[in-house]
Amino acid sequence: MKKNEIYDFEVIDNGMNFEGIAKKDDMVVFIPGAIITEKVRGKIIKVNKNYAIAKVDEILKKASFRETPFCEVFKTCGGCDAQNITYDMQLILKRNMVKSVLDKLNVEYEILENTIGMGLPLYYRNKVQYPIREENGVSKIGFYKKRSHSIVSNECCYIQNRVIDMLAKDIFSSFIKHGFKGYNEATNDGDIRHILIRRGLHTKEIMVVIVVNKEELFEDLKILDIAKEFARKNENIKSFVLNLNTSNTNEILGSKTKVIFGSEYITDVIGNYRYFISAKSFFQVNTLQAEVLYQTLKEKLCLTGKEILFDLYSGVGSIGIFLSDKVKEVYGIEIEPDAVHMANLNIKENNVENAEYIAGSVEEKIVEFKNRNIKPDVIVVDPPRKGLDEKSIEYILDFGPKEIGYVSCNPATLARDLKLLSSNYNIKSVTPVDMFPHTSNVECVTVLQLKENM
């Protein structure tokens, strides 16, 4: 198999990024845009030792669940990768994806549920974060093109809340009109790097975050005028924040933040609980499905009201607080101090008297609980995409809680961690939840129970 050669392929599966998977001459071939059951003709564009990548030239046999993408920039934008597949099939493929990574590592589980989807899988994101870039002397707002940092502009993003999607573009236009420039990655120059906007689904409260490239912009009166102008036009704008990021990095937010108008936080509601959200704190981007996610966890865990629960990687405390009415005590650990501050505000706001949150890394702070002789009956974890580190797994196994609730945004690291935890635990159920329709991402709620002989 050589580059630029053309072959016909039978697509036998879809991968972690919903790319088609075929086999040719004992070689695995990844074919972006192809769908399981299809026959396609494609050109080889890359050949490695263990796999090749092909580009679709022609669809010879179309899948029955192939769909015309509804977004005009679907083929170039890097935001969505599943609009060409019917939504029901997306849910099936996401379950298959989870099953594939679990089976690959021989992870034994009792139940793998069907993926829980959304009734209306559109306009669900409560957080918009647009890069602002200067290209060829012109400032642009949009998403990155696939596998690049070139900007793809769009009139409408169908997975983002329409209010904040349009607001981001209006704010961008105002900044450009006032003489500000987008960020130039090549020269590390320019004024505005990102526009980030959060909106409470139930409260309708809006926070605007402008990520700037120069600290002197913190005192720029023109920005304050822009903030006040938009707050006058939209009474739901409760916070206007500047964040400084001068590093040459892919990180969106820097370490320094200044509120120039309004409050330092907004609020939203999940279930019966109201949560404070700041510029830097983690909060699920799909509010409706977050409630489904947390309720699924609450129902799958065998909680009696007598348990001590550890909430690890706790963010603003949303999971622990949601479960607080079903346990005796909640202790949370989160590495981001700002999020812990929010968690403690959330405790007070919701009159939760049985929860305590501390700032620090899980692997370091979990020792403090051990030294205080606080032993969990249940541990809930919601780690970043990299999953649990080895130390955290060691401490979890050492504590030996009767149950573990694992919320994961990455099936691959979930499978890896479950394999390690399965030495002491039975995996009772894995439930995929579609937090991100029309993308290949899937969240999972997994419940593990301590083996009887442990």
SS3 state at 170: helix
Handedness of CA 88, 91, 95, 98 (dihedral sign): positive
Give how far Cα 297 sits from Cα of 46, 291, 334, 443, Å. 42, 10, 19, 12
CB 433 within 8 A of CB 443: yes
Q: Are strands 27-31 and 20-24 parallel, antiparallel or unpaired?
A: antiparallel
Pseudo-torsion of CA 46, 47, 52, 57, nearest 10°? Answer: 40
Task: Report residue 87 as tokens.
Answer: 């939504």
Catalytic position from the list 77, 157, 409, 444: 409
Give dist(CA 159, CA 434) in Å, integer.
13
Give how far Cα 191 sits from Cα of 104, 130, 223, 271, Å. 47, 14, 11, 40
CB 378 within 8 A of CB 298: no
SS3 state at 7: strand
Give dist(CA 1, CA 219) in Å, integer.
60
CB 401 within 8 A of CB 377: yes
Query: Catalytic annotation on 409?
Result: yes
Q: Which residues are marked as active site?
A: 409
